[in-house]
A and B are shown apart, each in its own frame.
Chain A
């Protein structure tokens, strides 16, 4: 995935420590998607992915930070969202990415589903925490 480091400089930031922060982060992402002119279906998919990743961050990563920004690439515009926590990390990422695998009592569809909902998906995880970065493009 391309480095969107420059986008992060102008990003909107939401600290997530409670479930209402997840709702908040979702709203920030939705507003950006609307401003970026994403069609309704894309908006909904992106916001739902953000909801999954934000909640994972809260439940398994002990909270973290969501950053979201508008990005542009060869004439199309999109929304970049980054989820960064300093939790324990995901020991076996391949298993965790499988449909239906959960270490808790979820449906185990958050990670794999979020990946299907967006255009670009990148996950880096280790003992220092987990960072997921996603992009959803306009048309």
Chain B
């Protein structure tokens, strides 16, 4: 029965003092966030949250995981996600929820019954605040993985070096995801720029092992299927010796130590092909 009368007292207090409590809550949170969020926006957020918590408590119970709290939970997750994107810390977001405790404490903790009610309400808010932390972490993870993807795009530029020649300067480790991006970009650029030669430069790849070699070979085969020739350049002496000891064979794929040599080779081939074309016409 104690639980029921607690709920009852809480509902009554929350309903009777809605505007005053909400005002105080906004003021406490606003002070905490030091004007980094407009009072209007904060008022709307906290108002919705207050009303949905009140509705849930009225409907029954103080179990934050119960169904009645579905709406309150979605509001909190929403709030947490937008705060995460705006760069607030998870502590600041959780404190926004805890602040409602501070507001209710003086009103409730006047007698024993009130104190018990306050404790139960505090436990509810603890649960709800934890939820914001969880949502915060999930949002940050999403942001990080989308940034990683963007970085992947950025770090694999495919550039037109000359008429008919595109270059792919690879920097860093070449894993499967990276290879996929490089390959797609290279093939697209070959088509867009109407090129016949591609130079893949691995000066910036620190380790060339069997996995990297396999990825390079795949890329070359794909380019060949589109009628383009690939040259691998930027093979430093220590990498050359390692590749040989490892037993990797690049077959008939031309390799060069420098990008300049590779470009010269590509241009020579292009000139020769043009000559052949002319001869073919005669």
Contacts and interface: CB of A to CB of B under 8 A. Distances in A.
Nearest to A116: B245
A23 B245 contact: no
A80 to B, nearest CB: 19
Interface string B192-223: 00000000000000111111011000000000
B246 interface: yes
Contacts of B214: 106-107
A36 to B, nearest CB: 16
A51 B209 contact: yes
**Secondary structure at chain A's binding surface: helix, strand, loop or mixed?**
helix
Contact of A41 (B207, B238, B247, B248): B238
Question: Size range of the interface on A?
Answer: 20 to 34
A110 B210 contact: yes
Interface in A89-139: 99, 106-107, 109-110, 112-114, 116-117
B238 A44 contact: yes
Contacts, number: 61
A129 B213 CA distance: 28
A91 B225 CA distance: 38
Contact of A55 (B206, B211, B213, B241): B211
A31 interface: no
B173 interface: yes
A107 B208 contact: no
A44 B207 CA distance: 7
B209 A48 contact: yes
**Secondary structure at chain B's binding surface: helix, strand, loop or mixed?**
helix
A52 interface: yes
B209 A52 contact: yes
B145 interface: no
B175 A113 contact: no
A30 B242 CA distance: 15
A113 B247 contact: yes
A40 interface: yes
B237 interface: yes
Contact of B242 (A44, A55, A107, A110): A44
A114 B248 CA distance: 12
Given A19-B175, A52-B210, A109 B242 contact: no
A19 B211 CA distance: 12
A44 B214 CA distance: 18
B239 interface: yes
Contacts of B247: 99, 109, 112-113, 116
A40 B207 contact: no
A117 B245 contact: yes
A47 interface: yes
A43 B207 CA distance: 11
Interface of A: 19, 23, 26, 30, 40-41, 43-45, 47-48, 51-52, 55, 99, 106-107, 109-110, 112-114, 116-117
8 A-B pairs with the lowest CB-CB distances in the bound complex, closest first: A113-B246, A44-B238, A51-B209, A41-B238, A107-B210, A109-B247, A116-B245, A109-B210
Given A51-B207, A52-B210, 7 more contacts: A41-B238, A44-B239, A45-B245, A52-B246, A107-B248, A113-B246, A113-B248
21 contacts: A40-B238, A41-B241, A43-B238, A44-B207, A44-B239, A44-B242, A45-B245, A47-B206, A48-B208, A51-B207, A52-B246, A55-B209, A106-B210, A106-B214, A107-B210, A107-B213, A107-B248, A113-B210, A113-B247, A116-B246, A117-B246
